[in-house]
Structure 1
C-alpha cells in the first residue's frame, strides 16, 4: 500500500506540459484562417467549357493578392511556433 501512495504522489507531481502554450495555439489558428482565406481568394476564374478561355483567371486578386495573403499566413505560423509562451509569466 505504501508503494501505491508513492505512485499517486509521483503522478500528481508530474503534470503533462505541452510544448506550446495557449497563446501559441491562438496564433496558429489565426495563421490557418489567413492561409485558408488566401486559398479561397485564389479559387475560381475557370471556365466550364475547356474550349473557352476566361481571362478572369489572371485577375489581380488571384495573381497578386491571394499568394501574398498565403505567405503572410505562413509568416504568422512561423511567429506562432517561435513565440515563447512563458515570456511575461514568472
Structure 2
C-alpha cells in the first residue's frame, strides 16, 4: 500500500531547489546593481546572467536527482 503523506521529492531535492532559488535571486539582484544606463555594464550583461544560468541548472538538477532514501 502506498503512503499518501509522502512528498514528491526528498530532502536533498528541496535543499537543491532552495539553493537554486537563492542563486537566481542573487543573479537578479546583481543585474539591478549595474550603474550603466539600461543595465548595459558588466554586472547587467555578464555577471548577472551567469548567475541566472547557474541557478537554472541547479533547479534542473534538483528536479531530476533521485533522493537516496527514495531509491
Q: TM-score range by the shorter chain?
A: 0.7 to 0.9
Equivalent positions of 1:1-90 (< 5 A) are 14=3, 16-45=5-34, 55=37, 57-86=39-68
TM-score, with structure 2 as normaliser: 0.81
1:40, distance to aligned residue in structure 2 (A): 0.1
Q: Tell which structure's C-alpha radius of gyration is larger.
A: 1
List alignment gaps of at least 5 residues for structure 1. Answer: 1-9, 47-53
Is residue 10–residue 67 contact of structure 2 (8 Å, CA) maintained in 1? Answer: yes
4+ runs of 1 displaced by more than 4 Å? none
The 3 A distance-change label for structure 1 pair 41 and 81 is: same
Deviation at 1:86, TM superposition (A): 3.0
**Secondary structure of 1:85's aligned partner:** coil
**Secondary structure, in 3 states, of the residue corresponding to 1:78?**
helix
CA RMSD after TM alignment: 2.6
TM-score by length of 1: 0.66
